[in-house]
Chains A and B, each alone.
Chain A
Amino acid sequence: MLGRWSIEFTRKCVRPFHHSITPSLHHPVFPVKFFHLIWCNLKRKKLRTSLTLLSIVVAFILFGFLSAIQQALVGGVEMAGADRLSVRQKVSIINLLPISYEARIERIPGVDFATHQTWFGGIYQDPKNFFMQNPVEPEKFFKIHPEIILPPEQMKAWLATRTGAIVGRRTADRFHWKIGDRIPIQSPIWGADRTWEFDIVGIYDGAKKGTDTTWMLFRYDYFDEARRWGKGQIGWFTIRIKDPSQAAEVAKRVDAEFENSPTETKTEPEGAFIQGYASQIGNIVFIVAAILGMVFFTILLVAGNTMAQAVRERTGELGVLKAIGFTNGQVMALVLAESCLLAVIGGAVGLALARAVTPVVADKLAGLLPMFFLPTHALFTGFSLSVALGLVTGIFPALQAMRLRVADALRRM
């Protein structure tokens, strides 16, 4: 059943080879002509090719989202400092610790220094505009978080302005804040009857792409003086230790220091602290990710089936190619290259689209999942997956094509 199409195909795409078939096989120009043949094969059923391509594109957009969700979950853990420990109140993180612990922690062997933060839980205009705001000790905070970058003159301005606050690039962009703005924030926790006003004196950036730049940081001295209750108490400490390999021992020493006091502590590496926090969201995100993963493979199955079918339909033509001098290996390579080309184009377009779209989605989710972005390593994984897809869908038809006996193939016509 060599249809009209096949005859036309042979005329247009195979004949150019025919004149020079033997020399061209060893000629450096060969791969270019080979590519032309593959391209003709893909073009012959434009509709089917484009539909298959589009479903691969969609699958890889989904893959992009999947990676971004995963990044949102584990990103914080990746960014955690190996030389940092977190100390919180043992019963619950919402219970406060006395600030006097800071000096006691700093005397413990193995501890370089300690600083603290407190959950402010402020509301800017509407509770939906969620982002973190924490009072910190500016100089110690920057010493312990080298991954946060603030221009020196802005740091100077912050140290000179009691009501000064610095804000991450992402939140500044989100609300169109700039240096010099005065931002009103309500805090149901620390005094619902007043509005806190902060002067933006700096905008910080992250040293790495994964750094969370959604926080607003302001001065603890201003906070402690202005709050209605809980003076002298803070949310949690961050410790820098001298030797990361001693983390477990130092953590034990800190907890032992405060054992049997009214406020016992729980100390763990920052990564574990963040992971524990992320795991509180529970397996919901995991379930969504699992569903997405299943979907990804379903779409690939569907696309792969179509691609395999496209090759099977052409058994006869492959026989013709062999009859005019193509070797087994070349026929196999032809079929494989075709499926790989389609898969790689689809994968690349899908990943590029996902890369373009995730920031838009991230803005919608802003605050809820600050680490939602598509990391570069996921692009590599995605690209490898697209090559794998091409190989897997192409290999069976390609093997069939390779083993094909010319006489059998031609008889089918």
Chain B
Amino acid sequence: MAGPINWLSQIGSITKFGLMSLPQRRGAVAATVIGIAGVVAVLVSVLSIAAGFRQAMAVSGSPDGAIVLRSGANTEMVSGFGRNETRVIADAPGVARNAQGPLASAELFVIIDLPKRTTGMDANVPLRGVEPAALLVRDNLKIVSGRMFDWGKDEVIVGRGAAQEFAGLDVGSKMKVGRYEWPVVGVFAANGAAAESEIWTDAKVLQAAYNRGDSFQSVSVRLNSPGAFQEFKDSLTSNPQLSVKVVRQSDYYADQSETLTRLITTLGFLIAFLMAIGAVFGALNTMYSAVAARTREIATLRALGFGGSAVVVSLMLESLLLALVGGVIGGTLAYAAFNNFHTSTMNWQSFSQITFAFRVTPELLVRGVVWAAVIGLIGGLFPAIRAARLSIAVALREL
């Protein structure tokens, strides 16, 4: 009956009518938009926690970095090596070298109690003893204020995240651990990586303070290239002197982020899904009341020859538009409230605190808007079908 152009112009004019009547339905419209904004804000905020944590772990692992633990250990906490073993590991094929020797750092990892700035409650903070190559086996590590500690002295440098989260770590102050006092001489940054949650000192000094003799817990190395990993790993695992586990830095950290990411993602989706159901009801209500308020108007249009499909499409467009507005508002709220929000939590694998920032990524925002669109479409579909099926004669009689 009608050509596509005519059909489109029908949709255009019905939609325009619908949008013009929005101010008369302020309450219901606002309720829908707020409801959908809520869903999107929550979805994006909760997932931004997981995204931030995953990101912190992702930047921690360099593709050409590897970490060596004692076989059977899944974290540094429960690993251990003697000096001889760490030497063999550092000299293995595949390890990059510079003028000073192999880029390998044998490290100790202990935990100390420090109060959080926000709550004043004690938290498990990682204290790492490192060797000079430590700054080269990790990416983007640099001192941002103060200076590097002197080797052989009981001085510490603190990660940027740790300095923000925990009390008493300002440059120039002294960090009290048990009966020892460690002067804080500098702050380092590592592009948001896990190392930023740590406090570093000379491994030899830490060995002495903890009566560890000449033992270490892990060896971090930089390889010649990402491809050299297999060669490095094979040479260590086939060495009868050693009983070790060799993992890529990236896999090691990805594994650490798994528990928390899984917990938060499960919770986030569950909550957002429930809310989405609630929001669909809200949208359905709004659109049904929109249809009810415009029964006569729609019937008149139909009597004038407007097609049923044009009515359906334009009502759905209206609902979609409201949903998108809600989605954008929700996404913006989440971004404003949580992007780059710094916090710290327990990393269960290392039993210590990790500081990180929430990240509202573009992908999350897109996902939020997609959810909004789906809610809007579902919320518009049924009322639109009802409007199209309306018996014209009955509807006009209501006049």
Residue B73 is within 8 A (CB to CB) of chain A in the complex: yes
Known: A127-B74, A282-B346, A291-B42. A52 touches B281 (CB 8 A): yes
Residue B314 is within 8 A (CB to CB) of chain A in the complex: no
Within 8 A of B (CB), among A296-342: 298-299, 301-303, 305-306, 308-309
> How far, in angstroms, from A47 to B382 measured CA to CA in the complex?
11
Known: A193-B72, A302-B31. A292 touches B271 (CB 8 A): yes
Residues of B within 8 A of A368 (CB): 259, 263
Within 8 A of A (CB), among B92-116: 110-113, 116
Chain A residue nearest to B127 in the complex (CB): A92
Residue-wise, chain B 118-146 has the 8 Å CB interface mask toward A (1 for contact) of: 11011110000000000000000000000
The contact of B285 among A48, A130, A287, A361, by CB within 8 Å, is: A48
Chain A residue nearest to B397 in the complex (CB): A4
Residue A3 is within 8 A (CB to CB) of chain B in the complex: yes
Within 8 A of B (CB), among A30-69: 47-48, 51-52, 54-55, 58-59, 61-62, 65
Residue A125 is within 8 A (CB to CB) of chain B in the complex: no
Q: Report whether B345 and A276 are in contact in the complex, using a CB–CB cutoff of 8 Å.
A: no
Q: Report whether B274 and A58 are in contact in the complex, using a CB–CB cutoff of 8 Å.
A: yes
Chain B residue nearest to A297 in the complex (CB): B38
Residues of B within 8 A of A288 (CB): 46, 49, 264, 267, 271
How many whole Å from A3's CB to the nearest CB in chain B? 7
Residue A83 is within 8 A (CB to CB) of chain B in the complex: no
Q: Report whether A55 and B281 are in contact in the complex, using a CB–CB cutoff of 8 Å.
A: yes
Q: Report whether B110 and A92 are in contact in the complex, using a CB–CB cutoff of 8 Å.
A: yes
For B30, B34, B274, which residue has the most chain A Cβ atoms within 10 angstroms?
Answer: B274
> How far, in angstroms, from A47 to B49 measured CA to CA in the complex?
38
Residue A264 is within 8 A (CB to CB) of chain B in the complex: yes
Residue B28 is within 8 A (CB to CB) of chain A in the complex: yes
Residue A94 is within 8 A (CB to CB) of chain B in the complex: yes
Q: Report whether B49 and A284 are in contact in the complex, using a CB–CB cutoff of 8 Å.
A: yes
Known: A48-B285, A51-B285, A62-B275. A280 touches B124 (CB 8 A): yes
Q: Report whether B124 and A94 are in contact in the complex, using a CB–CB cutoff of 8 Å.
A: yes
The contact of A291 among B46, B71, B75, B259, by CB within 8 Å, is: B46
Q: Report whether B78 and A52 are in contact in the complex, using a CB–CB cutoff of 8 Å.
A: no
Residues of A within 8 A of B32 (CB): 302
Within 8 A of A (CB), among B141-162: none
Residue B396 is within 8 A (CB to CB) of chain A in the complex: no
How many whole Å from B37's CB to the nearest CB in chain A? 8
Known: A192-B72, A283-B343. A90 touches B398 (CB 8 A): no
Q: Report whether B275 and A192 are in contact in the complex, using a CB–CB cutoff of 8 Å.
A: no
> How far, in angstroms, from A31 to B163 measured CA to CA in the complex?
67
Within 8 A of B (CB), among A192-226: 192-193
Residues of A within 8 A of B49 (CB): 284, 287-288
Residue-wise, chain B 57-82 has the 8 Å CB interface mask toward A (1 for contact) of: 00000000000001111110110000
Residues of A within 8 A of B266 (CB): 364-365
The contact of A280 among B35, B74, B123, by CB within 8 Å, is: B123
Residues of A within 8 A of B77 (CB): 94, 189
The contact of B74 among A48, A61, A188, by CB within 8 Å, is: A188
Q: Report whether A62 and B271 are in contact in the complex, using a CB–CB cutoff of 8 Å.
A: yes
Residues of A within 8 A of B75 (CB): 188
> How far, in angstroms, from A291 to B119 measured CA to CA in the complex?
20
Within 8 A of B (CB), among A123-159: 127-128, 130
Known: A4-B398, A301-B34, A368-B259. A121 touches B275 (CB 8 A): no
The contact of A188 among B78, B178, B343, by CB within 8 Å, is: B78
Residue A103 is within 8 A (CB to CB) of chain B in the complex: no
> How far, in angstroms, from A169 to B77 measured CA to CA in the complex?
30
The contact of A58 among B42, B270, B278, by CB within 8 Å, is: B278
Residue A260 is within 8 A (CB to CB) of chain B in the complex: yes
Q: Report whether B275 and A295 are in contact in the complex, using a CB–CB cutoff of 8 Å.
A: yes
Q: Report whether B38 and A298 are in contact in the complex, using a CB–CB cutoff of 8 Å.
A: yes
Residue A400 is within 8 A (CB to CB) of chain B in the complex: no
**Extra inter-chain contacts (5) besides given A62-B271, A94-B351, CB under 8 Å:** A94-B111, A275-B121, A282-B116, A282-B344, A299-B35
Residues on A lying within 8 angstroms of B by beta carbon are 3-4, 47-48, 51-52, 54-55, 58-59, 61-62, 65, 90-94, 121, 127-128, 130, 186, 188-189, 192-193, 260, 264, 266, 275-276, 279-284, 287-288, 291-292, 294-295, 298-299, 301-303, 305-306, 308-309, 361, 364-365, 368
Residues on B lying within 8 angstroms of A by beta carbon are 27-28, 30-32, 34-35, 38-39, 41-42, 45-46, 49, 70-75, 77-78, 110-113, 116, 118-119, 121-124, 177-179, 259, 263-264, 266-267, 270-271, 274-275, 277-278, 281-282, 284-285, 288-289, 343-346, 348, 351, 353, 398
In the complex, 25 of the A-B residue pairs with CB atoms within 8 angstroms, ordered by the A residue number, are: A48-B288, A58-B275, A91-B178, A92-B110, A128-B259, A188-B78, A260-B179, A279-B119, A280-B353, A282-B116, A282-B343, A283-B343, A287-B49, A288-B46, A288-B264, A288-B271, A294-B42, A298-B34, A299-B38, A299-B275, A299-B278, A303-B282, A306-B28, A306-B282, A361-B270
